[in-house]
Structure 1
Amino acid sequence: MADVFSQLYIHLVFSPKNRKSLIHPSWEERLHKYITGVVQERGHKLLAIGGMPDHIHIFVGLKPAESISELVKEIKNASNDFVKKEKLTAEKFDWQNGYGTFSYSRSHIDAVCKYILHQKEHHQKKTFREEFLKLCADFGLEIGRKDCFEWFE
């Protein structure tokens, strides 16, 4: 059987349920490390992870043996269980249904990593909604009637 050669770079974006700001800075790094482990255990390469209390960005080199939806489902389920088991928040924690996924070429890796790692600075100027809608526009995605996130302003 022939080997598989691939180069897939995927940027994932998702939020806690109802876009609540539940990811507290005091345990954000623990969550990121846990998610990194989930991604790596499944054979993917984590390139960058970052976010804000109300959303997370994950940039991976995707192994083609697993679909993006399977990976996101596993990240959400495992990290949700982790937050609950470790009792990281007193509030009920769940990830919101839906997510954004965007593909990049190899030449964009550095820029996307910097973007994700500097979310705190970036969001001093833009809201999550503005950011996400711009990503969709940049990639030619029409939101239309799709419910990608529950926008509570």
Structure 2
Amino acid sequence: MADCESLSHVRWYCKYHVVFVPKYREKALYGKLRRQMGSILQDLWMQKGVEVVEGHVMPDHIHMCLSIPPKYSVSQVIGFLKGKDAVRIQRNLLGERRLTGLHFWATGYCVSTVGLDEETIKQYIRDQEKPQQDQLALELD
């Protein structure tokens, strides 16, 4: 297990495929916000010691493969990321100045563990915007 990370008394390999969406699944992640999403989240990841293995922003959702230290639960990290990120988005990019009620993300999220299929999941995240070749084409005459 050469890919293991270590803390003072533990060796760990905890990777998760996480997806979360804007409130009402609005296509809000485009333009300036889409370009700055990585830098907005990067500061928050560093605060929790989370490593982003792979990530991709779509107009209506974000896919990430995260390596989360075992001292934090997945829900704790995602709650922290979504909460702090929403405040930064509202204040810095959308110009909101309220102290409460700043909502950007939907309440839930999707998470699955990553094991031996890590390369498959990373490829899936990378290829989000590529057209799928195996779908049938609908031709209208």
Into which bin does the TM-score normalised by the smaller protein fall? Answer: 0.7 to 0.9
Aligned equivalents of 2:51 and 2:72: distance in 1? 13
Aligned equivalents of 1:38 and 1:66: distance in 2? 14
Aligned equivalents of 1:125 and 1:85: distance in 2? 42
Whose helix proportion is higher, 1 or 2? 1
Aligned length: 123
Return the TM-score normalized by structure 2.
0.75
Residue 120 (1) aligns with residue 129 (2)? yes
When Rg is computed on C-alpha atoms for both structures, the one with the higher figure is: 2
Unaligned runs of 5+ in 2: 1-7, 97-101, 136-141
1:97 match? 107
2:23 match? 17
**Cα deviation 1:13-40 (Å, max 9, x = unaligned):** 1100010111113331311222122122
Contact 2:20/2:63, CA 8 A, preserved across alignment: yes
Corresponding residue SS for 1:21: coil
Distance 1:21 1:12, change over 3 A: same
User: Structure 1 segments of 4 or more deviating over 6 A?
Assistant: 123-126
Corresponding residue SS for 2:12: coil
CA RMSD of aligned residues (A): 2.6
Contact 2:53/2:66, CA 8 A, preserved across alignment: yes
Percent identical across equivalent pairs?
21
Unaligned runs of 5+ in 1: 127-153
Whose strand proportion is higher, 1 or 2? 2
